[in-house]
């Protein structure tokens, strides 16, 4: 017997959350061991550890409460890791020494994991005078390139780190360059970008008025506000970036507006944070709390929900004390405000079980009611913690209750806070839950609609072969179990068939009772007009959202899995759900960009020169051809053969990173050589290392040793069409989907944001 309702859930647990020793041998023998490990670790800061360990275990059991991945993977392991997901770094000073101090802090934070955000608005614009050195400033974009290189370097150490968010105010003189930065597909690949949009700017856009770009009191340029808005919208329409953050609303609604100013968020936007701000995340699995699913009495068990929320708040509050922090300032910030981000997952599945169509007015009303209940339960639980353990150190009752968010709170909750204080300054957030949702049995992710009723995934086995398995949405599987072959009702809708305004309606309904923010992707059809696309953002602003992220599939962003909405049955997975490779070689353009590397093999008279040229497909850079040359005529035949074979493989498309692993595995019976402190078994292995370094530098693979270990081509059906989106850098499948603002692989759960 197993607690996992789907094979993919067990595989995600084993790959990402199961505690193993340094040799990769399991210490958690079952998922129950993982729950026990987490419960024990978070109860360790309690006086009655045994009592709270059992309470925490009960909350975790059967995936009812899902701590975020860093807690699930790290709690109770004894390893020097942070359990916090989200960090915003300190304010970047406008001087060279301070900038590179911030870079060092970012590197230390990223080394322990976690998504980090920065506001680059504090750096003077390009061309501004730098006093005392008779030079002009290079501008914030140049320093963002440095951050990007740092992130890429740390990732190349062999372990995936958190993503980065860069924000810039809409009145910064370099805002136009910021908006267009990622039109170069090789630039800022480690960043998500968002523009900080103010209320004054939105008013200027509506009035079709002028807008000043300024820094440190100096106006550098004046332009039409609507023109700048259209530039933001056009870039997002074509390239899916930058996102938009309504920063004045965030600050106005912040419970802590009296002691902090926010100008950045974490990579997926659900946590607006002050300098050195940190937050941990967790989700209530609403799909597990529905009684009589698909029946006449289907409803959330509200008593169970209240109890689970209270337990989850206590667990998360304990994480503040149990976690390590990369920087002292982050630890102090967390201790002074005790911010937590409790959210939900499985919302769409829960709505389906109640017979509600996601995006409808009824579903939005139900979502708002659930979010209000969770908010009430969270705040009251935090008040009880304050009675027992004290309020957060920076609590000021009058100022806290005067914040924009607290004005809407019920009077009994306000009275409880006034009388006893509150343990946590902010309590609610809706985070990306793509991986933990798979782990919980493929429940719908966060507050997103169901992406696909069912699809077929390719699973890479330990022997290098690939097998197929069906992955079924949690609610659909429950329908099948309860109803048999009865067709799905017409209220079963998916992300691709929903109108964009339905997405906005659901985000706005949830945001009303979320004191931080929400990670949500508004899927737009490829053929949506530019004017209709802009209306999505205006509607998000008008209905109270704190930000807006859209995804429109096109030749640049890549397509997504096509899912048909049907009432006849859960659709069969088609060829688009498989790992797809090109059946014809890629055509060679007239010109290609590339790099040449010099390889000097110890003991050899002549160096080998390796040229790798790249092609850009759907906005992504990938290897296209290789030329290997040497003056040593003994090398001529095999270098020509290697050139032709590798180039032929590269030109066929798909994930060709297995070439690196094949070359690195070649050993020379005459012996290898030591190069840069590492033993290389042959000159071919050295060439493989050069190619691997190039693939990392262009973002084709994420780090050393992270390419495919074998050629997957032999295990898949060749289909005569182009891939339906970028290949997953972890498993190579073409199942990357934009979920909650981040590309996520449906096959293996890989995401740079979690």
Residue 40, domain member (yes or no): yes
Burial class (CB in 10 A: 0-12, 13-18, 19+), 497: middle
112 and 240 in a common domain = yes
CA distances 245 to 252, 318, 332, 549, 640, Å, are 13, 30, 26, 9, 53
Last residue of a domain, one of 509, 528, 547: 528
Residue 304, domain member (yes or no): yes
468 and 411 in a common domain = yes
The catalytic residue among 53, 105, 260, 270 is 270
**Least confident range of 8-22, 189-203, 408-422, 638-652:** 638-652
440 C-beta neighbours (distance < 10 Å), count? 27
Q: Which residues of 20-56 are buried (b: 16+ CB within 10 A; e: fewer)?
A: eeeeeeeebeebeebbbbbbbbbbeebeeeeebbebb
260 labelled catalytic: no
pLDDT at position 537 over 90: yes
Considering all CA atoms of the chain, what is the largest pairwise distance in Å, rounded to the nearest integer?
Answer: 87
Query: How far, in Å, CA of 250 to CA of 264, rounded?
Result: 10
Residue 261, domain member (yes or no): no
Q: Which residue has the higher pLDDT, 432 or 343?
A: 343
User: What is the model's pLDDT at position 158?
Assistant: 37
Contact present, 698 and 184 (Cβ < 8 Å) = no
The distance of Cα 224 from the centroid of its chain, to the nearest Å, equals 34
Structure tokens that stand for 265 in this block = 């968020």
Residue 339, domain member (yes or no): yes
518 and 483 in a common domain = yes
93 and 81 in a common domain = no
202 and 276 in a common domain = no
**CA dihedral defined by 3, 6, 8, 10, rounded to 10 degrees?**
20
Instruction: Give the helix/strand (H/E) hosting 91.
Output: none
402 C-beta neighbours (distance < 10 Å), count? 13
532 C-beta neighbours (distance < 10 Å), count? 14
**pLDDT tens-digit series, residues 420-451:** 999 999 999 999 898 999 999 999 999 999 98
Convert 155-212 into a string of H (helix), E (strand) and C (coil). Answer: HCCCCCCCCEEEEEECCCCCHHHHHHHHHCCCCCCCEEEEEEECHHHHHHHHHCCEEE
**pLDDT tens-digit series, residues 388-401:** 999 999 999 999 99
226 and 95 in a common domain = yes
Query: How far, in Å, CA of 523 to CA of 542, rounded?
Result: 19
User: What is the model's pLDDT at position 460?
Assistant: 58
Query: How far, in Å, CA of 436 to CA of 449, rounded?
Result: 16
Mean pLDDT calculated for residue range 495-515? 95
Q: Give the 3-state secondary structure of residue 82.
A: strand
pLDDT at position 729 over 70: no
270 labelled catalytic: yes
- How many domains are contained in the chain? 3
Task: Please report which confidence band the pLDDT of residue 658 belongs to, taking 50, 70 and 90 as the band edges.
Answer: confident
Residue 612, domain member (yes or no): yes
User: What is the model's pLDDT at position 621?
Assistant: 82
pLDDT at position 463 over 90: no
Instruction: Give the helix/strand (H/E) hosting 268.
Output: none
3-state helix, strand, coil in the chain (%, to 5): 40, 20, 40
Query: How far, in Å, CA of 426 to CA of 404, rounded?
Result: 13
Last residue of a domain, one of 486, 513, 528: 528
Query: How far, in Å, CA of 524 to CA of 541, rounded?
Result: 17
User: What is the model's pLDDT at position 364?
Assistant: 98
Residue 276 maps to which CATH number? 3.20.70.20
The catalytic residue among 86, 170, 268, 728 is 268
Contact present, 90 and 329 (Cβ < 8 Å) = yes
Mean pLDDT calculated for residue range 168-197? 93
Task: Please report which confidence band the pLDDT of residue 740 belongs to, taking 50, 70 and 90 as the band edges.
Answer: low
Could you tell me which of 268, 249, 84 has the C-alpha nearest to residue 165?
268
**pLDDT tens-digit series, residues 94-119:** 999 999 999 999 988 887 777 799 99
Could you tell me which of 396, 279, 397, 267 has the C-alpha nearest to residue 333?
279
Query: How far, in Å, CA of 182 to CA of 458, rounded?
Result: 31
Whose tokens are 């790798």? That residue is 612
Contact present, 454 and 417 (Cβ < 8 Å) = no
Residue 722, domain member (yes or no): no
By residue range, what is the domain housing residue 608?
593-715
67 and 110 in a common domain = no
202 and 100 in a common domain = yes
174 C-beta neighbours (distance < 10 Å), count? 25
DSSP per residue over 438-485, as a string? Answer: HHTTSPPPTTPPPS-SEEEEEEE-TTS-EEEEEEE-HHHHHHHHHHTT
pLDDT at position 717 over 80: no
Contact present, 493 and 521 (Cβ < 8 Å) = no
How much of the chain exceeds pLDDT 90, in percent? 62
Could you tell me which of 78, 104, 746 has the C-alpha nearest to residue 470?
746
202 and 312 in a common domain = no
268 labelled catalytic: yes
**pLDDT tens-digit series, residues 38-85:** 999 999 999 999 999 999 999 999 999 999 999 999 999 998 888 998
User: What is the model's pLDDT at position 555?
Assistant: 72
Residue 189, domain member (yes or no): yes
490 and 367 in a common domain = yes
228 and 205 in a common domain = yes
Contact present, 60 and 51 (Cβ < 8 Å) = no
**Least confident range of 413-417, 545-549, 657-661, 713-717:** 713-717
- Against a cut of 0.95, is the pTM above it? no
Could you tell me which of 474, 425, 428, 467 has the C-alpha nearest to residue 451?
474
What does the mean pLDDT of the chain come to?
87
CA distances 512 to 179, 410, 424, 503, 509, Å, are 29, 13, 19, 15, 6
Contact present, 6 and 31 (Cβ < 8 Å) = no
Helices (H), 240-301: 247-252
User: What is the model's pLDDT at position 730?
Assistant: 58
Query: How far, in Å, CA of 149 to CA of 465, rounded?
Result: 35
The catalytic residue among 192, 255, 266, 442 is 266
26 and 108 in a common domain = no
Query: How far, in Å, CA of 265 to CA of 741, rounded?
Result: 13
Last residue of a domain, one of 228, 252, 276: 252
Could you tell me which of 201, 151, 152 has the C-alpha nearest to residue 172?
201
Residue 749, domain member (yes or no): no
- HSE-CB for 157 with a 13 A CA cutoff: 14
**pLDDT tens-digit series, residues 111-153:** 777 779 999 999 999 999 887 666 789 999 999 999 988 887 7
């Amino acid at each position: 017997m197993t607690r996992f309702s789907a094979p993919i859930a067990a595989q995600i647990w084993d790959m990402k959350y199961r505690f193993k020793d340094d040799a990769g041998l399991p210490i958690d023998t079952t998922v129950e061991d993982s729950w026990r490990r987490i419960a024990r670790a978070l109860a360790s800061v309690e006086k009655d550890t045994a009592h709270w360990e059992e309470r925490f275990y009960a909350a975790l059991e059967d995936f009812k409460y899902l701590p975020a991945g860093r807690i699930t993977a790290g709690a109770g392991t004894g390893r020097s890791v942070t359990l916090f997901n989200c960090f915003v770094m300190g304010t970047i000073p406008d001087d060279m020494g301070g900038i590179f101090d911030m870079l060092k802090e970012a590197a230390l934070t990223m080394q322990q994991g976690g998504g980090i955000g920065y506001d680059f608005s504090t750096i003077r614009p390009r061309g501004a005078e730098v006093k005392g050195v008779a030079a002009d400033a290079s501008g914030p974009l140049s320093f963002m390139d440095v951050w990007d290189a740092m992130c890429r370097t740390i990732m190349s150490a062999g372990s995936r780190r958190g993503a980065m968010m860069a924000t810039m105010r809409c009145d910064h003189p370099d805002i136009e360059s910021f908006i267009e930065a990622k039109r170069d597909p090789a630039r800022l690949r480690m960043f998500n970008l968002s523009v900080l949009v103010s209320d004054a700017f939105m008013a200027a856009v509506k009035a079709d008025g002028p807008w000043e770009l300024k820094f440190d009191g100096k106006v550098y340029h004046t332009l039409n506000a609507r023109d700048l808005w259209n530039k933001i919208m056009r870039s997002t329409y074509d390239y899916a970036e930058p996102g938009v953050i309504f920063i004045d609303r965030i600050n106005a609604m912040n419970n802590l507006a009296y002691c902090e100013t926010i100008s950045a968020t974490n990579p997926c936007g659900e946590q607006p944070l002050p300098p050195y701000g940190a937050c941990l995340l967790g989700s209530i699995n609403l799909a597990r709390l529905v009684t009589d699913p698909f029946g006449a009495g289907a409803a959330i068990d509200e008593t169970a929900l209240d109890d689970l929320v209270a337990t989850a708040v206590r667990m998360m509050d304990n994480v503040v004390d149990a976690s390590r922090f990369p920087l002292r300032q982050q630890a102090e910030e967390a201790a002074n405000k005790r911010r937590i981000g409790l959210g939900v997952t499985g919302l769409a599945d829960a709505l389906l079980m109640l017979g509600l169509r996601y995006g409808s007015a009824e579903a939005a009303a139900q979502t708002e009611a659930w979010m209000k209940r969770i908010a009430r339960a969270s705040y009251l639980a935090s008040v009880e913690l304050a009675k027992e353990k004290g309020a957060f150190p920076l609590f000021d009752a009058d100022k806290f209750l005067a914040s924009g968010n607290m004005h809407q709170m019920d009077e009994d909750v306000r009275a409880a806070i006034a009388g006893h204080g509150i343990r946590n300054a902010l309590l609610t957030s809706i985070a990306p839950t793509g991986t933990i949702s798979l782990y919980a049995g493929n429940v719908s992710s966060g507050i997103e609609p169901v992406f696909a009723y069912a699809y077929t995934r390719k699973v890479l086995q330990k022997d290098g072969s690939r097998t197929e398995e069906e992955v079924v949405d949690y609610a659909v599987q429950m329908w099948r179990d309860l109803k048999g072959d009865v067709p799905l009702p017409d209220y079963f809708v998916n992300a691709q068939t929903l109108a964009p305004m339905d997405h906005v309606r659901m985000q706005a309904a949830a945001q009303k009772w979320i004191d931080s923010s929400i990670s949500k992707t508004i899927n737009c059809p490829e053929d949506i007009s530019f004017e209709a696309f802009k209306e999505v953002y205006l509607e998000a602003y008008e209905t109270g959202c704190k930000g807006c992220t859209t995804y429109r599939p096109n030749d640049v962003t890549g397509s997504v899995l096509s899912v048909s909405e049907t009432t006849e049955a859960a659709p069969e997975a088609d060829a688009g759900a498989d790992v797809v490779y090109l059946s014809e070689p890629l055509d060679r353009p007239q010109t290609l960009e590339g790099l040449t590397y010099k390889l000097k093999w110890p003991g050899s008279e002549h160096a080998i020169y390796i040229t790798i040229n790249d092609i850009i497909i759907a906005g992504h850079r990938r290897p296209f051809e290789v030329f290997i040359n040497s003056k040593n005529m003994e090398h001529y035949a095999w270098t020509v053969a290697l050139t032709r074979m590798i180039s032929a493989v590269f030109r066929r498309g798909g994930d060709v990173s297995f070439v690196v692993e094949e070359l690195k595995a070649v050993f020379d019976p005459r012996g290898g050589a030591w190069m840069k402190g590492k033993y290389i078994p042959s000159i071919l292995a050295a060439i493989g290392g050069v190619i691997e370094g190039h693939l990392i530098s262009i973002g084709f693979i994420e780090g050393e040793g992270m390419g495919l270990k074998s050629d997957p081509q032999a295990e898949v059906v060749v289909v005569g069409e182009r891939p339906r989106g970028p290949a997953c850098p972890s498993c190579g499948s073409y199942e990357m989907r934009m979920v909650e603002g981040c590309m996520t692989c449906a096959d293996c759960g890989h995401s740079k944001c979690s």
